[in-house]
Chains A and B, each alone.
Chain A
Amino acid sequence: MADISADFLGIKSPNPFWLASAPPTDKKVNVLRAFEAGWGGVVWKTLGSQIKNVSSRYSSVDYHGSRMMGFNNIELISDRPLDLNLKEIRECVRLFPDRAMIVSLMADNNRESWHELIKQVEDTGAHGLELNFGCPHGMTERGMGAAVGQDPEIARMVVEWVMEAATIPVITKLTPNVHSVVPTGRAAVQAGSDALSLINTIQSVTGVNLDTFVPNPNVGGQSTFGGYCGPAVKPIALKMLTTISQDPVTSRVPVSGIGGITTWKDAVEFMLLGATTLQVCTAAMKYGFRIIEDMCEGLNNWMDEKGFKTINDFIGKSVPTLTHWEELDINYHIVANINQEKCIHCGLCYISCEDGSHQAINLSYGNPYNTYAIKEDECVGCNLCKLVCPVDNCITMVEQRKGPEYLNWKEFQRRGLPLNDH
């Protein structure tokens, strides 16, 4: 059995899975249920000046019969009294001392408000603070949330205020609603933030109701941009995480990864690209806290299979393999191969290649089953046929190098090698 416990700036949790700051972590009853289910930690829903929420609040994107492939919300920070939140945080820490208790904060934009809030939260016994510089809706109109995270200099200033008061570890949560998360990440680290977390939600419109003509979610005939999350945003989160892991400044601090994590496999991918802990929200909102069981068991079994004793053995392992396009080996060449034994003759590889790629699959007519074969000379090794094939391992990509040595684009150009002639 591998050891899946996490140590994040000294904040220990029995597993690296935390619940992200959101409705599942906004009160004691939820959080206790989450801890009972086995979650390693929580980031308590953002505290600040008490606000009022609207109804409705969520909307989603369904895909091919599956609900909530993407999810968005227009809910603001906690709308409960601060004192009540603080009292419940204290009780949760007392009842589950082995779990990580991070509290998300979004104070009004002045030093005193931040100092006061931090002092009150530290009094609860919480283990860490997460600065919400990411919330993309509502709070931004008041100069908070993403409005802070989108401007590195404002972020730097606020982190400095925080670091003046904080005695427990501080995590700065980054907004993805920027061309790059690195500038704000750097500013936060340079201002003393102990760690980073990303991504927050992405500004979005999930869809428009074709009967009412009002976009989702509908609040009395109007809508507003919501924060997008769920499985749909994972690829964007992984890319942003990688840029943080590769930057010489931001890579100095540990990262808590967020963005569409639904299974242990998603979690491992975030860890391979540099995350130490993982934060989950949409999946728990959809299925409930019970999903933690397979997340832990799956991670454990995978680590055993790969021979990893602790999570530190593989965190960041895939980061060096992500490089610039011009470093890629042009001599590396693969061609598709269709296993005729496994083929079910659906024709999806053929039509995708014919209409969408490089016309490299031959169709031999049959009634009712056509036969499909790769034209190896035409195949550029794009993977499309393999991606659309509904049968696992029916289409495989076989390596057929164009030359023995590593040859990248810069070298290719330097030598004046010939480009395609058709």
Chain B
Amino acid sequence: MAVRNNRLSAEEYERQFSDIHPPFETHDAALVEANRCLYCYDAPCTKSCPTSINVPKFIKQITTENLKGAAHTILTANIMGGGCSKVCPVEKLCEGACVYNLMEEEPIHIARLQRYATERAIAEKWPLFTRKPSTGKRVAVVGAGPSGLSCAHVLAAEGIDVTVYEKESKGGGLMTYGIAAYKVTPEFCEAEVNFITSIGGIDIQYNKELGKDITIDQLLSAYDAVYLAFGVGLTRQLAIPGEELHGVTDAISFIYDIRNSGYPSVPVGDKVAVIGMGMTAIDAATQARRLGASEVTLVYRRTQQEMPCTEAELDIAKLDGCKIIWLAAPKEIKGENGQVTALVCEVMKLEDPGYGRPAPVPTGETFSLYVDMVIKATGQMPYERMVNCYALDNTQGKLSINNSHTSKPGVFAGGDCVNGGKEVVDAVQAGKDGAKAILQYLFKD
């Protein structure tokens, strides 16, 4: 029992991390599905998409073999529509709203069709968008994640010269660094970023971190407006004994390593406990299994009713052989010689606090999970200290905005740094909203 890397052969890694939702192999296959679409009016799928992709229209365009039109319909509404087709929790968004659900009939595979329509556009860099002549206005965007890139794309199309400052060496943000590798590959993420910037007028400065290499005031003096899209940061601490032991890691850095360093080099325990039940917890648990852990247990202090992940995600974890323990809260991590040996959990029960969702309350009973690795996926914390430093109005670190405008004139924001962490598709919409507000601000006269 130990935390170590190189548990599998190259072929095994390849198989474990292959595409979980394979694309349509042929146009005929896509057509069978596309032709099932009823072409609803004021469609529930579109209304359930945070970026309001005109789903019936793009599916109709697939059936008429107007693939270019389909890609344009999707990417106009959501410039990361390619990535979203792979990572969106569609069962609670478009596909969850498909009217076929009300007929007890399988919903249209919207995500798969969206992937079909966008994948070639991105791979072959179809020139679907044209940039207007430069207006001479300059905008700085902080963060090359979904929110920042979406904002940059809209601005660039309108003739703004955009510079994006990104602390990592690649763009895409959590799409590139924070999502299970079997959903979206690093190569795709890179191609998607290149597709977005291919419109022109977007310069991404990598390895430039806000607060370290640049400041908001510097940006404000050099640009006509600033859009903040730096996301959220550190994983919330458990604040329990043993958290400093070797073998304790957080899900974001675990997934970051998988995305950044290649599968064989990422250390994983033989028996792993994952704390939390959100999408990131699932991504960490399933990938721990796929890296070769023999036993992975997800620990969550509430029940399946309250879990933040979708049923589809839970199913992936179960199919990967992950165990789930409901109503269990971490109490202490035990170790020997500085190395994790067990996670002690307290059995919880739910009580109705009279408002909001049921609250987990300790029963006093405990149990131990004998594990050599503990992955914390208890949510990320906003950059509270940094935003306070810049004197930006915020709520517990989450930036306060009014029509995308922060409390500082000329500084706008959107995405996870405002909402505390939602889906990629929400961040893309925030970027569109931000760009619209910036354009109004720049051309108010």
Contacts and interface: CB of A to CB of B under 8 A. Distances in A.
Contacts of A64: 35, 63
B99 A346 contact: yes
B43 interface: yes
B42 interface: yes
Given A65-B32, A368-B48, A347 B42 contact: yes
Contacts of A289: none
Contacts of B97: 368-369
Contacts of B43: 346-347
Interface in B17-76: 31-32, 34-35, 38-45, 47-48, 63
A301 to B, nearest CB: 27
Interface in B88-106: 97, 99-100, 102-103
Central interface residue in B35, B39, B42, B63, by most chain A CB within 10 Å: B42
A368 B39 contact: no
Interface in A341-379: 344-348, 350-351, 363, 367-370
Contacts of A391: 103
Interface string A36-65: 000000000000000000000000000011
A390 B35 CA distance: 13
A209 to B, nearest CB: 13
B-side interface size class: 20 to 34
B35 A345 contact: no
Given A64-B35, A65-B31, A367-B47, A344 B99 contact: yes
Contact of A370 (B32, B34, B42, B63): B42
B38 A390 contact: yes
Contacts of B34: 65
Given A65-B63, A368-B97, A347 B41 contact: yes
A295 to B, nearest CB: 27
A351 B39 CA distance: 11
Interface string B281-309: 00000000000000000000000000000
Contacts of B45: 368
B275 to A, nearest CB: 34
A391 B104 CA distance: 12
B102 A345 contact: yes
Contacts of A348: 38-41
B41 A346 contact: yes
B44 A351 contact: no
Contacts of B32: 65
Contacts of B31: 65
Contact of B47 (A65, A350, A363, A368): A368
A363 B42 contact: yes
B38 A346 contact: yes
Contacts of A344: 99-100, 102-103
- The B interface, classified by DSSP as helix, strand, loop or mixed, is helix
B103 A369 contact: no
Contacts of B48: 368
Contact of A65 (B35, B42, B44): B35
Contact of B44 (A350, A363, A368): A368
A365 B42 CA distance: 9
Nearest to A66: B35
Contacts of A351: 41
Interface in A165-191: none
Nearest to B48: A368
Interface in B345-396: none
Nearest to B42: A347
Nearest to A370: B42
Nearest to B100: A344
Nearest to A346: B40
A344 B102 CA distance: 6
Interface in B103-141: 103
Nearest to B101: A344
Central interface residue in A345, A367, A391, by most chain B CB within 10 Å: A345
A370 B38 CA distance: 16
A356 to B, nearest CB: 12
Contacts of A369: 44, 97
B307 to A, nearest CB: 23
B360 to A, nearest CB: 31
Interface in A301-349: 344-348
Contacts of A346: 38, 40-41, 43, 99
Contacts of A363: 42
A363 B41 CA distance: 11
A368 B56 CA distance: 14
Given A64-B35, A65-B31, A65-B35, A350 B41 contact: yes
Contacts of A65: 31-32, 34-35, 63
A369 B46 CA distance: 11
Contact of B99 (A345, A350, A367): A345
B119 to A, nearest CB: 21
A354 to B, nearest CB: 9
A370 B97 CA distance: 12
A387 to B, nearest CB: 14
Nearest to B32: A65
A191 B106 CA distance: 60
Interface in A81-105: none
A407 B48 CA distance: 50
A345 B38 contact: no
A348 B43 CA distance: 10
Contacts of A370: 42
Contacts of B103: 344, 390-391
B437 to A, nearest CB: 24
A391 B105 CA distance: 12
A410 to B, nearest CB: 40
B247 to A, nearest CB: 45
B367 to A, nearest CB: 43
A181 B205 CA distance: 78
Nearest to A390: B38
B93 to A, nearest CB: 10
A169 B44 CA distance: 62
A134 to B, nearest CB: 34
A391 B44 CA distance: 17
Interface string B162-176: 000000000000000
A215 B236 CA distance: 67
A346 B34 CA distance: 16
A207 B40 CA distance: 28
B385 to A, nearest CB: 38
A127 to B, nearest CB: 44
A106 to B, nearest CB: 40
A61 to B, nearest CB: 15
Central interface residue in B32, B38, B97, B99, by most chain A CB within 10 Å: B99
Contacts of B102: 344-345
A217 B48 CA distance: 45
Nearest to B93: A368
Given A350-B41, A368-B48, A369-B44, 16 more contacts: A65-B31, A65-B32, A65-B34, A65-B63, A344-B102, A345-B44, A346-B38, A346-B41, A347-B41, A348-B39, A363-B42, A367-B47, A368-B45, A369-B97, A370-B42, A390-B103
> 10 closest Cβ contacts across the A-B interface?
A347-B41, A65-B35, A368-B44, A351-B41, A344-B99, A368-B47, A344-B102, A346-B40, A368-B97, A346-B99
Interface of B: 31-32, 34-35, 38-45, 47-48, 63, 97, 99-100, 102-103
Interface of A: 64-65, 344-348, 350-351, 363, 367-370, 390-391
30 contacts: A64-B35, A64-B63, A65-B31, A65-B32, A65-B35, A344-B99, A344-B100, A345-B40, A345-B99, A345-B102, A346-B40, A346-B41, A347-B40, A347-B42, A347-B43, A348-B40, A348-B41, A350-B41, A350-B42, A351-B41, A363-B42, A367-B47, A368-B44, A368-B47, A368-B48, A368-B97, A369-B97, A370-B42, A390-B38, A390-B103
